[in-house]
């Protein structure tokens, strides 16, 4: 295990001891953290983190959650993993809550994408909208479940979603995604060309996950691959000298360095290389720089391990969105930021193995 990958396991070891799984919410950040732990367990071929994942799921077996938005559908990534590991019907029941939501929630755009806030209480205070986050929170799970369970209708639905998201959120000129699309106004928001770093990171990470599940034979594969490449090229125009990316991608000198976005872009680059979507020779230097920008800043202090410079949960606010992005505080060890680093580390290892194998 090299020192960079060891930082990932050290960080996860520390957090799964410092955090009590039963204290976590039924939410997107917690879901991605547990999903990243599951992917890490599978990669290192251990059940090192499964007790934590199981503890998280067991909390909601005892107190059934409400799935009422894209973000609260995301925990199925964890509960489905627990069900596959154990065959416990209680975990299947939790997973089915998200499946039912995905299949039946009213769609507000092209009969495919639901309101980001679904029918949660937040839906009363925010206009009907599509958010870029949902490419990860809403779309990855049905791709995985559909592939593994042979649910062709669900798999086809997952395959159609990226193009629908791109049609309303992707800036044709730059290839970058806006944070949201307001359905009643039929336009993206923010209205100006302001591109949120982590949001584009979700795109860079989610699209290869979806592509790997739907397979090259799927009729939507090539169009998704093209969206992915265009988005990656747009992102890389704004890579900072130290390899990182800013919280507003296209304002690198006016907004701060953001390491969850950087980790997600690194993940997407390495996954793109491994899947043959990107040239190893051309894109690996940028991928390595992005990954190094994150790994080099993970630090150890007073018995703890910390990933810094993660911006707090980010909303496309109704007023002055640019200043909201610019001044939103950063912190250490936000669960979704750690998940991004784990995803990137796994994809780096896989891409390295791919490169070695392909050169033999």
Amino acid 347: pLDDT: 98
Amino acid 163: pLDDT: 98
Per domain, the residue ranges of the chain are 3-358
Q: What is the Rg, in whole angstroms, of the alpha carbon atoms belonging to the chain? A: 19
Amino acid 130: pLDDT: 98
Amino acid 234: pLDDT: 98
Q: Do residues 196 and 249 lie in contact, with contact meaning Cβ atoms separated by under 8 Å?
A: yes
* Alpha carbon distance 73, 56 (integer Å): 15
Q: pTM for this structure?
A: 0.97
318 pLDDT above the threshold of 80:
no
| pLDDT tier at 321, thresholds 50, 70, 90 | confident
Instruction: Tell me the three state secondary structure of residue 334.
Output: coil
Phi, psi dihedrals of residue 187, rounded to the nearest 5°: -155, 160
pLDDT digits (tens, 9 = 90+) for 50-90: 999 999 999 999 999 999 999 999 999 999 999 999 999 99
Instruction: Find residue 145's DSSP bridge partners.
Output: none
Share of the chain above pLDDT 90, in %: 94
Two structure tokens written together for 32: 């991605």
Phi, psi dihedrals of residue 304, rounded to the nearest 5°: -110, 165
Amino acid 320: pLDDT: 82
* Alpha carbon distance 117, 99 (integer Å): 16
Amino acid 236: pLDDT: 98
Q: How many CA atoms lie within 13 A of 349 on its CB side?
A: 16
CA dist list (Å): 315 to 32, 126, 198, 324: 18, 10, 11, 8
Q: Which CATH architecture has domain 3-358?
A: Alpha/alpha barrel (1.50)
pLDDT digits (tens, 9 = 90+) for 112-170: 999 999 999 999 989 999 999 999 999 999 999 999 999 999 999 999 999 999 999 99
Amino acid 360: pLDDT: 58
Mean pLDDT of the chain: 96
Q: Which is nearest to 229 in space by CA: 209, 203, 251, 193?
A: 203
Amino acid 257: pLDDT: 98
80 DSSP assignment: H
Kindly give, in sequence order, each residue whose CB lies less than 8 Å from that of residue 222, ignoring residues fewer than 6 positions away: none
Buried b (16+ CB within 10 A) or exposed e, 91-126: bbebbbbbbebbeebeebbeeebbbbbbebeebeeb
pLDDT digits (tens, 9 = 90+) for 123-132: 998 999 999 9
Share of the chain above pLDDT 70, in %: 99
* Alpha carbon distance 90, 87 (integer Å): 9
> Alpha helix (H) ranges present in the chain?
3-18, 28-44, 50-62, 70-73, 76-86, 89-104, 134-137, 140-149, 152-169, 197-214, 221-236, 259-274, 280-295, 321-327, 335-358
Amino acid 357: pLDDT: 75
């Amino acid at each position: 295990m090299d020192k960079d990958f060891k930082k990932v396991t050290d960080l996860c070891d520390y957090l799964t001891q410092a955090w009590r799984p039963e204290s976590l919410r039924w939410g997107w950040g917690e879901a991605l953290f547990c999903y990243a732990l599951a992917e890490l367990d599978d990669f290192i071929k251990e059940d090192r983190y499964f007790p934590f994942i199981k503890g998280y799921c067991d909390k909601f077996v005892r107190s059934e959650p409400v799935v009422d938005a894209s973000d609260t559908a995301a925990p199925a990534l964890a509960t489905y993993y627990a069900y596959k590991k154990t065959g416990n019907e209680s975990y299947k029941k939790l997973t089915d809550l998200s499946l039912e939501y995905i299949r039946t929630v009213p769609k507000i755009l092209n009969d495919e994408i639901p309101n980001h806030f679904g029918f949660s209480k937040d839906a009363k205070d925010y206009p009907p909208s599509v958010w870029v986050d949902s490419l990860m929170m809403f779309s990855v799970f049905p791709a995985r479940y559909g592939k593994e369970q042979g649910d062709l209708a669900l798999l086809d639905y997952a395959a159609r979603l990226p193009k629908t998201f791109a049609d309303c959120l992707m800036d044709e000129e730059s290839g970058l995604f806006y944070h949201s699309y307001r359905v009643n106004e039929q336009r993206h928001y923010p209205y100006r060309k302001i591109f949120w770093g982590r949001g584009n990171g979700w795109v860079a990470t989610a699209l290869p996950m979806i592509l790997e599940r739907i397979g090259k034979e799927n009729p939507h594969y090539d169009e998704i691959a093209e969206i992915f490449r265009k988005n990656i090229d747009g992102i890389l125009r704004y890579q900072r000298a130290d390899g990182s990316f800013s919280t507003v991608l296209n304002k690198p000198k006016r907004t701060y360095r953001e390491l969850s976005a950087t980790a997600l872009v690194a993940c997407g680059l390495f996954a793109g290389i491994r899947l043959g979507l990107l040239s190893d020779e051309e894109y690996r230097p940028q991928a390595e720089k992005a990954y190094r920008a994150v790994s080099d800043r993970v630090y150890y202090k007073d018995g703890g391990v910390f990933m810094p410079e993660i911006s707090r949960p980010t909303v496309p606010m109704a007023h002055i969105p640019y200043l909201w992005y610019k001044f939103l505080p950063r912190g250490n060890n936000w669960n979704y930021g750690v998940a991004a680093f784990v995803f990137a580390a796994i994809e780096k290892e896989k891409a390295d193995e791919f490169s070695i194998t392909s050169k033999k």
